[in-house]
Amino acid sequence: MSHLNLQQAKVAVIGAGTMGIGIAQLAAMHGHTTQIFDADVEKTKTTVSQLTAQLSKRVQAGKMTQELLVRTLENLSIVSTIEQLAESDLIVEAIVEKKEVKQQLFQKLAELCSEQTILASNTSSISITAIASAIPHPERVVGLHFFNPAPVMKLVEIICGLKTDPAIAQGLTELMTAWKKVPVMAKSTPGFIVNRVARPYYAEAFRALQENVTTPEQLDFIMRECGGFAMGPCELTDLIGQDINFSVTQSVYQEFFYEPRYRPSLVQKELVDAGCYGRKSGQGFYRYDSQVPVAQYQLPAVQPLQQKISVLIKGDWSNQPGLLQRIQHAEWLESQHQAADQNEIQIGEVVLRLTQGESVQLSYPQQKIVLMDWHANWENAKAIALVASPACTAQDQAQVTAFLQGMNMIPIWSKDHPGLYVIRSISMLVNEGCEAVLHGIASEQDIDLAMKYGVNYPKGPFEWATQIGYNTILQVLENMYHIYAEEKYRPSLYLRQKVALGQSQLTNKIQYRQAG
């Protein structure tokens, strides 16, 4: 197929649920003649009435013009039979997440519509290749995955099945851009981009809870404060619905032939088995009772400093310049610098380092070592997670606490947990992104866009890896792989290649400078 222009396409949406009406609203607002069909006509009428009321409130609030409201409603029409969709150029289904039901629907549409009609599925997890396999001219079947609420969320995943015509995917990319969306391209694979790459954010959190090293309140605080995430994993899954999140994890796990990286959590299964689905059921990791506020983590109290603290900074700390600046500007700290191959801070007899995935109990049982988690914003950091080796005394920990107090930071002392929380989760997210690129699912750029606009991450996996250092990410994963001896922590070949390429470029640059 040659270049496809869908800017004037006649659009139809099947399914009048929240997602369906949102997609229909988008199409109608952007000038498309839009039909909406649902087997329950009365439900459709009610939904459109609710949409009209919502948009009218936006007009009253000055967030939308009266002209746009009128034009949108003029473009939108309800149809009572599927046969009325026969002249559509683009049909988007947003019905129940069952492959057989979607196949039956598309088979019916294939009988009614032209061979040029694009059949798009809003599925979040079902294989586009599998849906298209039962449809005549499968090259016109494509995934068009919006995120809820569709009018608000920027991301749209455009999914190509094995036989999808690339011109259709390109045409939809241009159309979504015209709709002011952020389109990303992906091959049909379980979970596509977002629902696949996001799995470690939940899995590593649940692993920490299962290993009894933290609490939901503390974990969510650390991921927000230190990781820069909008929501911690426990509160986020409570919002999504523990049953929904667990179901998606099970689906991805099964569809990937039980790949260990996607193994569901027993912690989450217990919640689901108990009917603790989160906000919608009134209880998940937290209770949602109007009489009882949602549990909040309280930072531990610390004693005020009585004297200045002297520290020796070793190494360049080039990946954490904000931490160095914080130390240098702290009036309670006196620091000296020393060149060294390894970044560490000497505080009395204790050595403070950023974790690289080690276990202090296994790696440093006889050394006074404190490992510190990564922080997304050292300049404004309020707290940081740490773990002390068995050789550290209470006085040693008090010295580290005083050092942090000197920068107006409070320590969150943790039990031993390889990689702690933030750098561990980010490393696994990077690894998952690397696997997706390795297998040709999506580009680095599209994966970064998908994770920022689809699940509101502060950065995409490859942006994190560039900031933190691919070699650091690899080291964290190699250490965890060694400690756990589990395939889920095996570093991706693509990650290893990125590190090797970076080292090669660095070596070549150094050699060039020496020669010149």
pLDDT of residue 503: 72
| Assigned domain for 515 exists | no
Q: Are residues 40 and 165 in the same domain?
A: yes
pLDDT of residue 429: 98
Q: Are residues 181 and 131 in the same domain?
A: yes
- Taking alpha carbons only, the member of 77, 63, 70 closest to residue 13 is 77
User: Backbone phi, then psi, for 86, in 5-degree steps?
Assistant: -60, -30
pLDDT of residue 293: 67
Residue type, 275: G
207, 245 in Cβ contact below 8 A? no
What are the strands of the beta sheet with 141-146, ordered from one edge? Answer: 76-79, 34-37, 11-14, 90-93, 118-121, 141-146, 155-160, 182-187
Cα 284-287-288 angle, rounded to 5 deg: 105
Tens place of pLDDT for every residue, the chain, 516 residues? Answer: 678 999 999 999 999 999 999 999 999 999 999 999 999 999 999 999 999 999 999 999 999 999 999 999 999 999 999 999 999 999 999 999 999 999 999 999 999 999 999 999 999 989 999 999 999 999 999 999 999 999 999 999 999 999 999 999 999 999 999 999 999 999 999 999 999 999 999 999 999 999 999 999 999 999 999 999 999 999 999 999 999 999 999 999 999 999 999 999 999 999 999 999 999 999 999 999 877 667 789 998 888 888 899 999 999 998 899 999 999 999 999 999 999 999 999 999 999 999 999 999 999 999 999 999 999 999 999 999 999 999 999 999 999 999 999 999 999 999 999 999 999 999 999 999 999 999 999 999 999 999 999 999 999 999 999 999 999 999 999 999 999 999 999 999 999 999 999 876 655 544 433 332
Residue type, 90: L
Q: Are residues 364 and 475 in the same domain?
A: no
The domain that contains 282 carries what CATH number?
Answer: 1.10.1040.50
| Assigned domain for 327 exists | yes
| Assigned domain for 369 exists | yes
Domain count for the chain: 3
- Taking alpha carbons only, the member of 173, 168, 170, 178 closest to residue 156 is 173
Q: Are residues 351 and 275 in the same domain?
A: no
- Taking alpha carbons only, the member of 59, 109, 60, 102 closest to residue 86 is 109
For helices 422-438 and 199-210, give the axis angle rounded to 10 degrees. 140
Catalytic residue from among 88, 121, 122, 124: 124
CB neighbour list of residue 365: distance below 8 Å, 6 or more residues apart: 389, 390, 391
| Assigned domain for 304 exists | no
Q: Which residue has the tokens 């390889």?
A: 418
- Catalytic residue check, 30: no
Q: Are residues 89 and 232 in the same domain?
A: no
Q: Which residues pair with 78 in a beta bridge?
A: 36
420, 358 in Cβ contact below 8 A? no
- Start-end of H helices in 179-198: 194-197
| Assigned domain for 182 exists | yes
The domain that contains 372 carries what CATH number?
Answer: 3.30.750.190
| Assigned domain for 15 exists | yes
| Assigned domain for 354 exists | yes
Q: Are residues 69 and 153 in the same domain?
A: yes
| Assigned domain for 198 exists | yes
- Start-end of H helices in 166-241: 166-178, 194-197, 199-210, 216-225, 233-240
Q: Which residues of 228-237 are buried (b: 16+ CB within 10 A; e: fewer)?
A: ebebbbbbbb
pLDDT of residue 514: 37
**49: exposed, middle or buried (Cβ count in 10 Å: 0-12, 13-18, 19+):** exposed
pLDDT of residue 3: 84
Instruction: Identify the DSSP state of 293.
Output: P
Q: Are residues 390 and 426 in the same domain?
A: no
- Start-end of H helices in 297-348: 321-328
Q: Are residues 452 and 341 in the same domain?
A: no
Distance, CA of 114 to CA of 145 (rounded, Å) = 23
pLDDT of residue 512: 36
pLDDT of residue 513: 36
- Taking alpha carbons only, the member of 200, 199, 196 closest to residue 125 is 196
14, 123 in Cβ contact below 8 A? no
Q: Are residues 280 and 220 in the same domain?
A: yes
Domain that includes residue 99, residue range: 11-188
- Taking alpha carbons only, the member of 407, 433, 404 closest to residue 491 is 433
pLDDT of residue 508: 53
User: Backbone phi, then psi, for 383, in 5-degree steps?
Assistant: -155, 165
Q: Are residues 385 and 408 in the same domain?
A: yes
Q: Are residues 283 and 260 in the same domain?
A: yes
Beta-strand runs (E) in 234-382: 309-314, 333-338, 344-347, 350-354, 369-372
Catalytic residue from among 75, 121, 145, 363: 145
Catalytic residue from among 93, 157, 204, 444: 157
pLDDT of residue 285: 97
Instruction: Please report which helix (H) or strand (E) contains residue 400, including its range.
Output: helix 394-405
pTM of this prediction?
0.94
- Catalytic residue check, 157: yes
The domain that contains 167 carries what CATH number?
Answer: 3.40.50.720
Q: Are residues 114 and 253 in the same domain?
A: no
Catalytic residue from among 88, 122, 195, 343: 195
**45: exposed, middle or buried (Cβ count in 10 Å: 0-12, 13-18, 19+):** middle
